[in-house]
Amino acid sequence: MPLDPYVSCPCGSGKKSKWCCAPYFETVEKAFQQEDQGQHESALQTIKGLLTAHDKNPSVWFYYAQFLYKAAAAEFDAAARSPAARRPAGPNDPPPGYTQKFEQAEEALSKALELNPQFGMAYFLRGQFRENEGELIGSLLLYRKAAEAYDAEAHDQIAAVCVKIYENESMLNRPVAARAALERAAHIQSGAPEIKAQLDSEFGPEGPFPLSARKKYQFRPTAKPVPESAATGKLSDARKAFENLTQITPDDPAAWFDLGLVLAWIGEQPKAVAALVESIELETDDYRAEEAGALAEVLRCGFGMENDSDHMGHAVVMPIRDPQPVMRLLGAYEQAGKLRGVHVDQERGMMFGLLVEELPSLLAVGTVNLARVAARVMIGQGVIRLSHPNRDSVMRAADEIRTALQLAVEQPAESTNPLNFRDVVLEALAQPAGAGDEAALEAKLRGHATNYFENLWLHKPLKALSGNNALDAVGSKVLRKHVFGVVKFLEDCLATALPHKRVGEEVVPIQVYDFAALRHKLGLEYVSAAPPVVNVPADAPDEKKQEKAEDIRGFTPPARQEAPAPKNREIGALNTAELAALDVAALSVGELEQALLAAVKLDARELAVAFAQAGLLKPFDAATPDRYRLYATAITGAAATGDTARAAELIDQGAKYDADHNSGQRETEYKLRKAQLYVKAKDAEKAAAEFEGLVAMHPDEGKFYTTAAEEMLRMKNGAKALHFAEAGLETARRTNNRDLEGHCSELAAAARKAT
Ligand SMILES: [Zn+2]
């Protein structure tokens, strides 16, 4: 194909090819033609000749790399088909079809990048190498580098790499980044209808994603305007601008939101979530907090956020040894109504279905009953794969199948994966069983969803709410702002996962739950307060632009007014409603402690826990280095909900904080707390170990021996009680402590009886 001298050059320089690669493009074409015709040697000679004449030209090195990779791939395919490939390889043999040309292609690319570090096309090609090797993350990083390096005029190349970024981000369950890349491709190639169509089908109203994952997010106006120089179209420039802005106006929620958005588009999920959390906590408008919070939830579902997400997919894969019993079992399941919605993908040789929990009432005839999805099932590629957002559920299903199939399947392998958005509310959606009238069915579906959201979900500790459940979180001024987004995300997910019914000619969704009821239960009423007060430093650069922007927006950001902090004595006098109305963001650590004590006095336990949690989130405050009281309350709160793991985690955090900032003065208290936590959890072994640590720290302190012995007796562990009582006796005699001796003697006698 002759090269049009006036199109932008295929090397991605952004120049017209006439002024770029035209002089040697003919030779490059010739080499590729010779290669295609099987004249491998001549082809190599042709391109090497070009290289000798232009060895300082990065584009020529790039074409050389492209040529080598193509030749290597052809050799690889040929070798894979050859009889030699079927012989078993020795341990030190290179893989069949291995060719040095792959390495040479890499080297040629390195050379091209050495000559021109901003060579977008070279990054793009290297990204394709990685993608062909199945290295998704590595290739994505290279594609992003390419997108940044290309000249703004290299439209075709930018669009092509953006489509690649879109594909990779989609596979990583990161629709916000995927959409941004596809938007950019559509924008640059406004004449390409297939990109536009893809954009509509993926992210339009009919697309597969919940609203908060597919919508087009917009920047929010910031208190201090963003320099125009940031609008280069390159995400890295926008990122720098907003990072800078959040430094200058750290209390502007809009600046944090915009930064979070740019980071989400770049695919930097953890940093994006952190910026959005900042924005939410500074926000005074619940609707804006809700939008930011729902976006953060979407990002938490992406690859790489597994430790921060409340929405995870749990999967179990069992390789199939003998397909016959597997098919028989599935047939039996289907007959019994346990396997539903089976469909077969002939092309890929896969079968999909839903495994539902068998209910005794399934046997009843003519009534409507419900079943619960126990796991999604996929069979294909020689394996059974089960998945579900609830780990217990998928493990139970796997156990049952394995018990039924015995040796027909291999040992199951478990994994966690990003969760498909359609499954976020899977547990709220029941499956109808049996036939009956539609009104009764819908009522039951609604009942199931209502029970899930209002009786189960409400009490679930959530990572997005710092380990609190939604019910407790609304009691904290800061956490309450996070609840809006968490609920909105669920609402969006449910809307895309609803079952459907036929009404006349139309198919309409069955509305199984109205989230207004959940918001009402939580007492979530939207408050749109005045814009937050943002301190824009007078000496900040761009002051002139700042004034102009103020004219346009019609208001002058007022100087920061410190929220009048109530005096400690005043906090102590507040009633429950007044305490609940305190702005925890404006309170110091010491004031939060006062509020906590006031709440405890009023028996407002949840409020006290909320103050404690808010206090723990504050940065170090030299005025109150001792945070034991805050931690103790938070620990009690966690233990009261039965969350022993969280309580233990808080104890460890508290002890570490104390060691770092309070010279470890509370070490004993934390150890005692931990021992008591294990007593409460009825774990005598662990409790005894903690008491051992305590008496080792304070060998002369009698009360630790007696406490330990008493607690062991309460747990009916006579042997351990006796151990502590006798150690106490020894101490009493050594220190000549009569009281302790008497007490320990009694305890020892009781312990002997208990053994
Ligand atoms: Zn060129």
DSSP state of 119: -
Condensed to tens digits (0 to 9), the pLDDT of residues 335-360 reads 988 898 899 998 888 999 999 985 55
Structural domain contains residue 399: yes
User: Ligand 1 centroid to 38 CA: how many Å?
Assistant: 27
Task: Identify the pLDDT of residue 231.
Answer: 75
Residue type at 86 in one-letter notation: R
User: Ligand 1 centroid to 36 CA: how many Å?
Assistant: 23
Supply the angle between the helices 667-680 and 684-697 in degrees, to the nearest 10.
Answer: 160
Q: Is the dihedral of CA 468, 471, 474, 475 positive or negative?
A: negative
Structural domain contains residue 547: yes
Output the average pLDDT for the chain. Answer: 86
Structural domain contains residue 690: yes
Supply the angle between the helices 155-171 and 175-188 in degrees, to the nearest 10.
Answer: 160
Residue type at 694 in one-letter notation: L
Count the neighbouring beta carbons within 10 Å of the beta carbon of residue 296: 28
User: Ligand 1 centroid to 161 CA: how many Å?
Assistant: 17
Q: Reply yes or no on whether the pLDDT at 243 is more than 90.
A: yes
Residue pair 510/499 in contact by the 8 Å Cβ criterion: yes
C-alpha span between 50 and 119 (Å, rounded): 19
Average pLDDT value for residue range 285-310: 94
Q: Reply yes or no on whether the pLDDT at 1 is more than 70.
A: no
User: Ligand 1 centroid to 5 CA: how many Å?
Assistant: 11
User: Ligand 1 centroid to 20 CA: how many Å?
Assistant: 4
Residue pair 410/318 in contact by the 8 Å Cβ criterion: yes
What DSSP assignment string belongs to 392-421?
HHHHHHHHHHHHHHGGGBPPPEEEEEEPPG
Structural domain contains residue 564: no
Coil, strand or helix at 302: coil
Starting at the edge strand that comes first in sequence, how are the strands of the sheet with 350-356 ordered?
A: 339-345, 350-356, 373-380, 383-388, 312-319, 413-418
Which residue from 169, 121, 134 is spatially nearest to 268, judged by alpha carbons? 169
748 and 604 in a single domain? The answer is yes
User: Ligand 1 centroid to 277 CA: how many Å?
Assistant: 45
User: Ligand 1 centroid to 17 CA: how many Å?
Assistant: 6
Condensed to tens digits (0 to 9), the pLDDT of residues 412-455 reads 999 999 999 999 999 999 887 656 677 878 888 898 899 999 98
DSSP state of 233: S
What percentage of the chain carries pLDDT values higher than 90? Answer: 51
**What b/e readout covers 355-385, taking b as 16+ CB neighbours within 10 angstroms?**
bbbbeeebeeeeebbbbbbbbbbbbeeeebb
User: Ligand 1 centroid to 178 CA: how many Å?
Assistant: 29
Between 139-153, 214-228, 536-550, 602-616, the lowest mean confidence (pLDDT) is in: 536-550
Structural domain contains residue 229: no
- Look up the domain containing 332 and give its range: 312-360+368-418
Structural domain contains residue 428: no
Helix (H) or strand (E) holding 352: strand 350-356
Q: Is the dihedral of CA 685, 691, 697, 700 positive or negative?
A: negative
Residue type at 696 in one-letter notation: A
Confidence of residue 92 (pLDDT cuts 50, 70, 90): low
User: Ligand 1 centroid to 64 CA: how many Å?
Assistant: 13
The residue with tokens 């990002």 is 299
User: Ligand 1 centroid to 13 CA: how many Å?
Assistant: 6
Task: Identify the pLDDT of residue 640.
Answer: 83
Q: Reply yes or no on whether the pLDDT at 543 is more than 50.
A: no
User: Ligand 1 centroid to 188 CA: how many Å?
Assistant: 20
Residue type at 37 in one-letter notation: Q
User: Ligand 1 centroid to 27 CA: how many Å?
Assistant: 13
Total count of domains within the chain: 5
Q: Reply yes or no on whether the pLDDT at 735 is more than 80.
A: yes
Coil, strand or helix at 567: coil
CA atoms within 13 A on the CB side of 507: 3
Which residue from 97, 44, 39 is spatially nearest to 67, judged by alpha carbons? 44
User: Ligand 1 centroid to 4 CA: how many Å?
Assistant: 12
740 and 616 in a single domain? The answer is yes
Structural domain contains residue 708: yes
Task: Identify the pLDDT of residue 518.
Answer: 93
C-alpha span between 357 and 371 (Å, rounded): 6
Which of these three, 556, 587, 621, is where a domain ends?
556
Q: 3-class secondary structure for 47-102?
A: HHHHHHHCCCCHHHHHHHHHHHHHHHHHHHHHHHHCHHHHCCCCCCCCCCCCCHHH
Count the neighbouring beta carbons within 10 Å of the beta carbon of residue 277: 20
User: Ligand 1 centroid to 70 CA: how many Å?
Assistant: 19
608 and 737 in a single domain? The answer is yes
Q: What is the CATH number of the domain that holds 732?
A: 1.25.40.10
What percentage of the chain carries pLDDT values higher than 70? Answer: 90
Tokens describing residue 96: 């069949």
Task: Identify the pLDDT of residue 557.
Answer: 34
User: Ligand 1 centroid to 30 CA: how many Å?
Assistant: 17
121 and 111 in a single domain? The answer is no
Average pLDDT value for residue range 705-716: 90
Q: Where are the alpha helices (DSSP H) in 150-192?
A: 155-171, 175-188
Residue pair 464/310 in contact by the 8 Å Cβ criterion: yes
User: Ligand 1 centroid to 181 CA: how many Å?
Assistant: 24
Q: What are phi and psi of 604, to 5 degrees?
A: -90, 80
User: Ligand 1 centroid to 8 CA: how many Å?
Assistant: 8
Better-scored residue on pLDDT, 84 or 245: 245
Tokens describing residue 108: 């040629």
Residues 6+ apart with CB under 8 A from 64: 47, 48, 50, 51, 108
CA angle 741, 746, 752 (to 5 degrees): 120
598 and 715 in a single domain? The answer is yes
User: Ligand 1 centroid to 15 CA: how many Å?
Assistant: 7
Residue pair 112/21 in contact by the 8 Å Cβ criterion: no
CA angle 340, 342, 345 (to 5 degrees): 165
Which of these three, 188, 207, 226, is where a domain ends?
207
User: Ligand 1 centroid to 93 CA: how many Å?
Assistant: 40
Helix (H) or strand (E) holding 379: strand 373-380
Average pLDDT value for residue range 296-311: 94
Q: What are residue 285's DSSP bridge partners?
A: 528
Task: Identify the pLDDT of residue 436.
Answer: 65
DSSP state of 456: I
747 and 643 in a single domain? The answer is yes
540 and 647 in a single domain? The answer is no
Q: Reply yes or no on whether the pLDDT at 752 is more than 80.
A: yes
The residue with tokens 């040929």 is 78
Condensed to tens digits (0 to 9), the pLDDT of residues 36-77 reads 898 988 999 999 999 998 889 999 999 999 999 988 888 887
User: Ligand 1 centroid to 11 CA: how many Å?
Assistant: 4
13 and 103 in a single domain? The answer is yes
User: Ligand 1 centroid to 198 CA: how many Å?
Assistant: 30
Question: Following CA atoms 683, 685, 690, 691 in sequence, which dihedral angle do they give, to the nearest 10 degrees?
Answer: 100
111 and 129 in a single domain? The answer is no
Residues 6+ apart with CB under 8 A from 609: 472, 475, 633, 634, 636, 637
106 and 156 in a single domain? The answer is no
What DSSP assignment string belongs to 523-580?
T----BPSPPP----TT-S-HHHHHHHHHHHT-PPPPP-PPPPPPHHHHHT--HHHHH
User: Ligand 1 centroid to 57 CA: how many Å?
Assistant: 10
413 and 517 in a single domain? The answer is no
Helix (H) or strand (E) holding 709: helix 702-714
C-alpha span between 737 and 739 (Å, rounded): 6
User: Ligand 1 centroid to 24 CA: how many Å?
Assistant: 9
Task: Identify the pLDDT of residue 514.
Answer: 94
C-alpha span between 741 and 46 (Å, rounded): 99
User: Ligand 1 centroid to 155 CA: how many Å?
Assistant: 14
Task: Identify the pLDDT of residue 481.
Answer: 94
Region of residue 337 (left: phi > 0; alpha: psi -120 to 50; beta: else): left
Condensed to tens digits (0 to 9), the pLDDT of residues 657-703 reads 999 888 888 888 898 889 988 888 888 999 999 999 999 988 888 88
Q: What are residue 418's DSSP bridge partners?
A: 312
C-alpha span between 486 and 294 (Å, rounded): 6
C-alpha span between 135 and 558 (Å, rounded): 51
User: Ligand 1 centroid to 548 CA: how many Å?
Assistant: 43
User: Ligand 1 centroid to 154 CA: how many Å?
Assistant: 10
User: Ligand 1 centroid to 63 CA: how many Å?
Assistant: 10
Better-scored residue on pLDDT, 196 or 569: 196
Average pLDDT value for residue range 157-183: 95
Structural domain contains residue 569: no
DSSP state of 190: T
Q: Reply yes or no on whether the pLDDT at 89 is more than 80.
A: no
Q: What is the CATH number of the domain that holds 328?
A: 3.30.310.180
User: Ligand 1 centroid to 150 CA: how many Å?
Assistant: 12
CA angle 4, 10, 15 (to 5 degrees): 75
Average pLDDT value for residue range 138-146: 95
User: Ligand 1 centroid to 237 CA: how many Å?
Assistant: 25
CA atoms within 13 A on the CB side of 621: 16
User: Ligand 1 centroid to 111 CA: how many Å?
Assistant: 16
Q: Give ion ligand 1 contacts, CB < 5 A.
A: 9, 11, 13, 20-21, 59
716 and 613 in a single domain? The answer is yes
The residue with tokens 């009694």 is 746
User: Ligand 1 centroid to 472 CA: how many Å?
Assistant: 62
Task: Identify the pLDDT of residue 558.
Answer: 34
C-alpha span between 437 and 281 (Å, rounded): 48
